Structure 1
Amino acid sequence: MSIRHNKHFLYLWFVNVATTLAIELFTVTILVSIFEQTESTLLAAGTMVARTLPPFLLGPISGVLVDRFPRKNMLIGMGLMQLILVAMAIWFLQGDGKISVAGIYLILAGISAADAFHRPARMSLIPSLVPQGHLVKANSFILASNQIMMAISFTVGGWLILAIPLRHIAFGVLVLFLLATLMAIPIVEPKLHHAKNRGKKESFWNSWLSGWNYLRDHPIARPLTIMETVEHLPHGIWTGALMLAFTVNALHGDASDWGYQATAYFTGMILGSLGALAISNWLARFSGRIIVINACISGLMTLAYSGSQTVGIAVMWAFVFGPPFAIRDVAQDSLLQSVVEKEQLGRVYATRDMLRNAMFMFAGIFFAWLSGFVSIRTIYVVGGILYMLTGVYALSNKALRESKITPDTEQK
């Protein structure tokens, strides 16, 4: 069945789109609001900590629960929690419409905590609803939609917070979470009998430990997770706060110029995701090589971006980043879903997110702190070198380098 005619996948796609738009729009408006109020890169980077700390702390718990309980129910339950948190934000924003920075952090952290369960459930549902031969197309469709939502968030979010009160934006976010929760209800999830029976026999600790051991011993999932975790160290230079600082201090631009770069990047990501749909068969055959090559390309393009002298050149490089990153992301998710057992996928995704978020949180804070002592251009040069070292690791791992997605292969 084509993914366009797979109604349960389309329900999941809508849940993913609405949730992504809600979270990203809320995050961007908060980031810009804090930066405008405090003019502090470090405080603005606090939004990143609020987003990444909960998945890091809750990763071991969320993975086990996503594999133990129906993933559809997880989507509904966490969606309701996000609804309640946004409703609390609306209530706090009554009167003069102001809220303390600490209060904003707490609300954003709560939404992110719910997403620590919601996202692994979403991603783990894909191979249950879609035949393995259509995984690349399904992930391309999901990623393209996500990038459109993020482009909308970064393009519109900065303008919205300057034009209308945060409380009004929160009402829109509330509606998006409500729609996502309602659309999760009609999803019919295939039962994973093996996982259900195992969950009854294993304690919570043993269930988490078995998932960790599974990931540690997997010949492809392990190096892929290590590579992505290490890669999130240089990813820390792309936080909204640091990019905004680069735009203002190195390019002598403003918040709108930062928005142009973000929009160009997401436009490139959208085109890359759509391109992955067109080359899905080729991408499946050479997924490992694509992942390795793009890890190396990331370093070269980051070094080129660091040398940008005008906003226009920076926007151009931001766009060029998009397509290879999108194709790489599709390859990574599709490869992971094709080689990991479905009843282990929730724990693998949650562990991967936990490690990536821990690294990204550390990197974001570290580079924001470092920006007070060295030039912002130097930070991006360091990031480019780190990307290239990640590429060397990926190139040295034969199992990852030669991995591919075969539609008729059983998940191992």
Structure 2
Amino acid sequence: MKRKSFRYLWIGQALANSGDLFYIVGLMAIIYGITGSAMLMAMIPFVTTMARFISGSFAPVLMDKYSLKSLLASSQIGKTAVLFLLLMTYYVLGEQEVTVYAILGFVFLISLLDGWAAPASHAMLPRLVDAAELTKANSFVALVDQLIQLGGWAVGGLLVVAMGGSNVIWLTFALALAAAVFMKMIEDRHESTQEQKEKARVSNWRSIQEGWTLIWKQPSLRAIHVIYVLETMAGVIWIAATIYVYVADVLHREEAWWGYINASFFLGLMLGGLFGMRNAGLIDRNIRKFVICSSFGISLMTFGFGLTSVSWLALVFSAGFGVFEQIKAVSLQTTLQRGVSVHLLPKVYAAQSALVSLVFGLSTLLFGFITDEFGVRATYIIAATVLFISGCYALRIRTRLPELGEGLEQGRIGIEK
């Protein structure tokens, strides 16, 4: 974890994530200022999800032609160019409705760039740290990300008030440029000229298929991704719209409690990341148990959150969900990184990104319908049931989840053909 390249990766990613958060806050302020429409504001996450699904699907083609470092750096450079065009368009068109649709178009382009950057970043991490430090490294990166998420929305809001939405976009422009510099400084010891020549010979269709095929044919990877799908389906209950309804209809509290619940959730995620850093060895030795126990813990927290009408208990359940969620995410992430060769891992992450984006988008519509038709309590009870099924599935297929030694051995997957 003391290697310079790992430091460049997490610093660059932190700058990029901060910029992404600030630009979303800035754009929402601009769109709301022009239209006053909450629905058009909500189009931003929808457009983002769909663009990342498309980009994630085709990311393997780029991964077979360019190095991960080049993809990470080019993604940030591309974002600076798109952000510059966005700002110029805003200044030219002014505050009229057509500007909003132009902004959504630029959001789509930026999200396309993010669609290959995210899997490339996840796949880069195990190339930069020793296998024995993966759990600790994943926990550290998750902790940094949650710190940004916890404070970023508040800081972004203050910046919008102090600077205005368009100036916050300029700040994002600078952060993306700085992130690109850090990404270019990474030294990937696994990337070679010969490997690039081999990549160039692979057909585009085979590139797209490779990650999906590996996930489907390898029992351990298939098991992990079934858990990911179930968790993603239930995870949409934490989007802003659902929490907003929960606060109003169940807790009967003012809007500020939406912020309190989100803060407690991210605090839980941070505590889970801190636990992972301090107890990496314990997790490594008992990774199956942590996946199973955290799966049932998430279900229990969700069930309690949905049933309670006591405000402070809702905060406790929200934080508890965050703790279990982070421990489970780190455990699955480490298992996946140890189970696939570093050369095929980018393809697996690209397929995973596309799969999760699609499931999240569809689940948002499904649970939105359930909330409208049956009430927000039903939404949380159904989500808790889905998470309980995920826990039962993890218990049933526990032998497919490799422990530390087995995971390192399975790192050969995809090398010998």
Cα gap change, 1:408/1:312 in structure 2, threshold over 3 Å: closer, same or farther? Answer: closer
Are residues 1:284 and 2:284 paired? yes
Which residue in 2 is equivalent to 1:125?
Answer: 124
Are residues 1:10 and 2:29 paired? no
Cα gap change, 1:94/1:31 in structure 2, threshold over 3 Å: closer, same or farther? Answer: closer
Which residue in 1 is equivalent to 2:154?
Answer: 155
- 2:55, 2:248 → 1: CA distance? 35
8 Å contact kept, 1:56–1:357: yes
Cα gap change, 1:111/1:253 in structure 2, threshold over 3 Å: closer, same or farther? Answer: farther
Which residue in 2 is equivalent to 1:110?
Answer: 109
- 2:28, 2:382 → 1: CA distance? 24
Pick from 38, 49, 63 the counterpart of residue 60 of structure 2: 63
1:11-410 matches, within 5 Å, as 11-28=8-25, 30=27, 38=36, 40=38, 43-94=40-91, 100-161=99-160, 164-193=163-192, 195-400=195-400, 402-406=401-405, 409=409
Q: Residue 219 of structure 2: SS of its match in structure 1?
A: coil
> Structure 1 length as normaliser, TM-score?
0.90
Cα gap change, 1:399/1:69 in structure 2, threshold over 3 Å: closer, same or farther? Answer: farther
> After alignment, is 107-116 or 205-214 more displaced?
205-214
User: Could you give the per-residue CA deviations for residues 303-328 of structure 1, whole angstroms, max 9, x where no partner exists?
Assistant: 11112325433222222222221111
Q: Residue 188 of structure 2: SS of its match in structure 1?
A: coil
Unpaired segments of 5 or more residues in structure 1? none
> After alignment, is 83-92 or 166-175 more displaced?
83-92
8 Å contact kept, 1:234–1:383: yes
Residue 154 of structure 2 aligns with an amino acid whose one-letter code is T
1:192 Cα shift? 3.7
Q: Residue 341 of structure 1: SS of its match in structure 2?
A: coil
Tell me how large the CA RMSD over aligned residues is.
2.5
8 Å contact kept, 1:20–1:149: yes
> Structure 2 length as normaliser, TM-score?
0.89
User: Could you give the per-residue CA deviations for residues 393-412 of structure 1, whole angstroms, max 9, x where no partner exists?
Assistant: 22221333x42223864612
- 1:259, 1:178 → 2: CA distance? 31
Unpaired segments of 5 or more residues in structure 2? 413-417
> After alignment, is 67-76 or 134-143 more displaced?
67-76
User: Could you give the per-residue CA deviations for residues 113-134 of structure 1, whole angstroms, max 9, x where no partner exists?
Assistant: 1111111111111111111111
- 1:34, 1:233 → 2: CA distance? 29
> After alignment, is 301-310 or 74-83 more displaced?
301-310
Residue 76 of structure 1 aligns with an amino acid whose one-letter code is A
User: Could you give the per-residue CA deviations for residues 215-234 of structure 1, whole angstroms, max 9, x where no partner exists?
Assistant: 22222112101210122111
- 1:330, 1:370 → 2: CA distance? 30
Cα gap change, 1:109/1:240 in structure 2, threshold over 3 Å: closer, same or farther? Answer: farther
- 1:172, 1:324 → 2: CA distance? 34
Cα gap change, 1:398/1:164 in structure 2, threshold over 3 Å: closer, same or farther? Answer: same
- 2:373, 2:41 → 1: CA distance? 18
1:8 Cα shift? 0.7
- 1:44, 1:352 → 2: CA distance? 27
1:296 Cα shift? 1.9
8 Å contact kept, 1:67–1:343: no
Cα gap change, 1:235/1:26 in structure 2, threshold over 3 Å: closer, same or farther? Answer: same
Q: Residue 343 of structure 2: SS of its match in structure 1?
A: helix
Residue 331 of structure 2 aligns with an amino acid whose one-letter code is A
